[in-house]
Structure 1
């Protein structure tokens, strides 16, 4: 595995040991604030506070829990600010650990919330109570076509409903497009649209300070989930790999991700993630060629994962299935595999 150099040894050690990192002054005018996540392996999201002449802007927000809100408020206090000083919340994407607290922060401070239009369009179906049943039904249909066993269908289809409670539904005040310069005095922050992990995922580059705020797009050790699901693009892995190539060209000194720890070598890390997906594509293609018609689910259960399949919890099994489907779709688009539609779909060599 290609190892990247931590920009903060203390932050890396906290991640490695299962601890919780401290609030850190990354450099003048910029702070890293860890915000806890309840009961998931990621443990925390790193919120970045950018000092402004009249307050701060933050990149991402955390889940909407009292513990998360208190940790963010305490982190801002360490930096010399109050929650009421937040002027902007730049949301990299709409997953609850990044977007969930944004609405509560706006209620307190009057901050504006910025989001890419592709993610903004998904908010109602994902988080409105009167729309979410339809989304679960669509997910169930996808799992049926994937070949998920009938006895686990309902459990897997609704597996993400528990995390909806960590979100305060908040429409964005500003839509941020690819290439937009963010209006933050003292900063030359540019938006980069990096779809894949979500359709509207954004990174932010600061060329003068040679920084990349990478959200979940590029992380130091793990790779983000890139999956086919009812709200994904048709070929999310193709989008993701293109977006990796787009950020690789930036000559930055430091990458500031939303999880794990800050690190230095952007290009090397991007190359490693691309190689990982090439290996995964090859593994999946080999599995399909060895079978006389195989479902997505049966393909997923036979792949190499970070832990034995039987120890993977339901929510992550669904993610594993849908991520496998993203790789199958990528191979199908390049005429390396073909799909015979049905309930379930069966996959064959092209």
Structure 2
């Protein structure tokens, strides 16, 4: 949630990136992120898309016309590889499948989350969100607007991927690289025959991806540690061009990975200095630095900020720098020796 020199969707155009790869900007209506970059990889058996965009009429029209501008008919799409299950990436995958008969592929961990989401009723979702927010220390007035926000779940994928799997793109070598953190099943896709890496939301040029814990008070996962380890995995690939899902391409994925790692280490250091007295997750999030004052954040953004605060608190706890107080509701954290 850092500041960005975000380029508006109105300035974006479909682009031939060379080497049989094109990019198509697909709008995210009503969202300040603006758009998702969907990539098309040519193959003799038909193009394969990396991500698909938000499930909205305007987005669908932009995807169809954008693909046509780079010589791709959406009806010829062979498959859609989804970097992760979030709606601005996976939302239109089902529509592409309906139009072309394409397969949809996703990492198995995110595929399980999609299955869970599709089986969860609106009432169950509301109850889950409300209890999570209450245990984090959110005020009662903030619960309804956050708990009721729920985009439609994406289509269930046809194929489940694991780390190291080769994607079905005839004539190309596209390998799945499991990079958890932003989601449990986030994938980067290494186009090994061209030293290119489709990074999804794992590496972005000017912002850092959201790393959160849901429910906020889980102590059996450490998504920030997973994310930092995934950055190291990307750096170990050597010099690769980064093709992210937002903003713009970068010549050196490893260099940007190092910058993002340094950002989070600095954030952890500053957060540890805040937890000098027992505080709830919500109180801690309100004291952290975001891209605008806490009072100006919408309820939805406060919920995301709390998730990110929780992930950093969990990382500090796992490193032995803070502790959660036992049998306290809402959950509270404090420095280890306080």
Same fold flag (TM > 0.5):
yes
Partner of 1:261: 248
Partner of 1:139: 129
* Paired residues of 2:9 and 2:25 also in contact (CA < 8 A): no
Residues 1:180 and 1:70: Cα distance change in structure 2 (over 3 Å): same
* Paired residues of 2:181 and 2:223 also in contact (CA < 8 A): yes
Q: Secondary structure at the match of 1:247?
A: helix
Q: Secondary structure at the match of 1:347?
A: strand
Partner of 2:204: 219
Distance in 1, matches of 2:125 and 2:9, equals 34
Matched, 1:118 2:103: no
* Paired residues of 1:126 and 1:132 also in contact (CA < 8 A): no
Partner of 2:21: 30
Q: Compute the TM-score of the two structures, normalised by the length of structure 1.
A: 0.90
Q: Secondary structure at the match of 1:52?
A: coil
Distance in 2, matches of 1:29 and 1:265, equals 20
* Paired residues of 2:110 and 2:185 also in contact (CA < 8 A): yes
Query: Which of 217, 229, 234 in structure 2 is aligned with 1:242?
Result: 229
Distance in 2, matches of 1:333 and 1:185, equals 43
Q: Secondary structure at the match of 1:42?
A: coil
Shift of 1:253: 3.8
Q: Which sits farther off after the overlay, 225-234 or 107-116?
A: 225-234
- Give CA-to-partner distance per residue, 1:73-113, whole Å, 9 cap, x none: 11111122211110000000000000110111101100000
Distance in 1, matches of 2:166 and 2:122, equals 34
Shift of 1:196: 0.8
Shift of 1:132: 4.3
Aligned residues: 330
Partner of 1:6: none
Matched, 1:149 2:151: no
Distance in 1, matches of 2:35 and 2:311, equals 27
Shift of 1:236: 1.0
Shift of 1:136: 3.1
Matched, 1:228 2:218: no
* Paired residues of 1:217 and 1:224 also in contact (CA < 8 A): yes
Distance in 1, matches of 2:213 and 2:130, equals 13
* Paired residues of 1:135 and 1:230 also in contact (CA < 8 A): no
Distance in 1, matches of 2:9 and 2:95, equals 28
Shift of 1:18: 6.2
- Give CA-to-partner distance per residue, 1:57-86, whole Å, 9 cap, x none: 000000111111111111111122211110
Partner of 2:74: 83
- Give CA-to-partner distance per residue, 1:14-56, whole Å, 9 cap, x none: x445643110000131100000101111110000001111321
Partner of 2:320: 335
Q: Secondary structure at the match of 1:186?
A: coil
Matched, 1:277 2:264: yes
Q: Compute the TM-score of the two structures, normalised by the length of structure 2.
A: 0.93
- Give CA-to-partner distance per residue, 1:257-282, whole Å, 9 cap, x none: 00011111222211111111111111
Q: Secondary structure at the match of 1:267?
A: helix
Partner of 2:165: 180
* Paired residues of 2:274 and 2:284 also in contact (CA < 8 A): yes
* Paired residues of 2:52 and 2:80 also in contact (CA < 8 A): yes
Residues 1:135 and 1:242: Cα distance change in structure 2 (over 3 Å): farther
Residues 1:322 and 1:59: Cα distance change in structure 2 (over 3 Å): same
Partner of 1:4: none
Structure 1 stretches of 5 or more lacking a match? 1-11
Structure 1 stretches of at least 4 aligned residues deviating more than 4 Å after TM superposition: none
* Paired residues of 1:180 and 1:191 also in contact (CA < 8 A): yes
Partner of 1:349: 335
